[in-house]
Amino acid sequence: MNTKTFKQIFTADDSTDLESTDNVLSIIEDVKQNKDAALKKYTAQFDGQQVEDFKVSAEKLKNSFESLNEEEQNALLLIKERIADYQQSIKYKDYEDGEFSYVYHPLERIGIYIPGGTALYPSSVLMTAVPAAAAGVRNIVAVTPTFSNDNITFAALYIAGVTEVYTVGGAQAIAALAYGTESIEKVDKIVGPGNKYVALAKKQVFGDVGIDMIAGPSEILLYVDESADYTASAYDIFAQAEHDVNARTFLIAESQEVIDGIQLEVNRLIDSQVRTDVIRESLKNNHYQIVDNRKELIDVINFIAPEHVSIQHRDEQEISRGIRYAGAVFIGKYSPEAIGDYAAGPSHVLPTNQTGRFSHGLNVNDFLTSHAIINLKEVTYNHIADAAKTIAKKEGLDAHYESLNIRTER
């Protein structure tokens, strides 16, 4: 096995998205021109909802949290605490050393997109808003196509430090965050997962605002051997598949017997799953492969750069040390990917579709901006100015040269 086996999987055919891109561009332009009127139109068209006021009151958020039972409240609070503690531990610190400094500042206003659709996503609230709050962002705005009494999501918004919540979704919500409307003030950066139209919209507005990433369907690479619990591995596959019909799993093992053993468990258990229809469709995207040797395994993982890598193998520690490109790596029986979706600590907003080769999962530092401070002493300036003047003259930038030279002549 080698990376050539997987190259066809990642050969993108953008032609299928041309119509979707055109539709998204039309929506964005409409929102830029017509603002709230466009939001109301698309909310009625796509969500079947007539909405006059998109903003969710602070009282509604508070009441949503208080409506939960104690177990649910404690679960949200525990997860929030774990995420906040982890994010604080990796937060960049200012550097100051005499003539040079490097300082960080939180972004002023960010927008988070919380998906709606076929499931509830309080976890996505916590995985996006809590890192922003840990960075010190003062204005955290959430948009979500949630119109029912989705108390668990509203409760998560309440405890996560979100300052404004609007019940609007889709590409129109991204456009509202990027350009502003009468109701929704423009933000500096947009983060959070969404469907294809949300991803396309984020791609189109990038540059006018910052974004975290353009996320595709969720994915996991499972590397297991005969020491793994095959039933647990089957549920790991189901957990990935139930996200949506486009999710996929790469199952890699050293023998056909391992793959067959896990497949038997998948076949035995699939009819008992709640989201069976979604899972069955999603499983069609899976790719199962036997590995030839350890080097090729590592090469394949780094080539795919999976959103999630789960290693349940007797040599799991050694294997993990060779992984350079992945959204997150889960090692051992007690670190299933599902725990990362909720309570491990790192954000579950992760790069997909090989983008982990040049990007990383969302974290507190994505909500910081930074700049250098240069305060040179005369002795330092005199030491380096001649080199700078030489290059300025070579580049033909005379004013640069004179700006440097005048300070050494006096």
The two tokens of residue 31 are: 């929102």
Q: How far apart are CA 242 and CA 232, in angstroms?
A: 15
* Residue at 147: amino acid letter: F
56 neighbors 154 (Cβ within 8 angstroms): yes
Give catalytic status of residue 318 as yes or no.
no
Residue in the structure block whose two tokens are 């206003």: 109
Catalytic residue check, 307:
yes
**Cα-Cα-Cα-Cα dihedral of 332, 333, 337, 338, to 10°?**
-160
Q: What are the Cα distances from residue 243, in Å, to 118, 214, 238?
A: 9, 17, 9
Catalytic residue chosen out of the listed positions 308, 313, 348, 360: 308
Q: How many Cα atoms sit within 13 Å of 374 on the Cβ side?
A: 3
Query: What CA–CA distance (Å, rounded) separates 312 from 225?
Result: 7
Tokens of 82: 């774990």
Q: Sort 67 into a burial class: Cβ within 10 Å, 0-12 / 13-18 / 19+.
A: middle
Cα angle 131, 137, 143 (rounded to 5 degrees) comes to 75
Paired with 370 in beta bridges are: 104
Both tokens of 371, joined, read: 């700049």
Q: Looking at the DSSP assignment, which residues form a beta bridge with residue 34?
A: none
Long-range contacts of 283-286 (CB under 8 A, 24+ apart): 283/237, 283/241, 283/249, 285/217, 285/246, 285/247, 285/248, 285/249, 286/237, 286/241, 286/248, 286/249, 286/250, 286/251
Task: Decide: 135 and 368 in contact? Cβ < 8 Å.
Answer: yes
* Helix, strand, coil share of the chain (percent; to 5): 50, 15, 35
- Quick one: DSSP state of residue 57? P
Pick from 325, 348, 324: nearest CA to 336: 348
Can you list the alpha helix ranges (DSSP code H) found in 206-275? 230-241, 256-269
Burial class (CB in 10 A: 0-12, 13-18, 19+), 106: middle
Judging by DSSP bridges, how do beta strands 139-143 and 164-166 pair with one another? parallel
- Among residues 219, 307, 316, 337, which one is catalytic? 307
- Residue 348 is given by DSSP the state S
The catalytic residue positions are 307-308
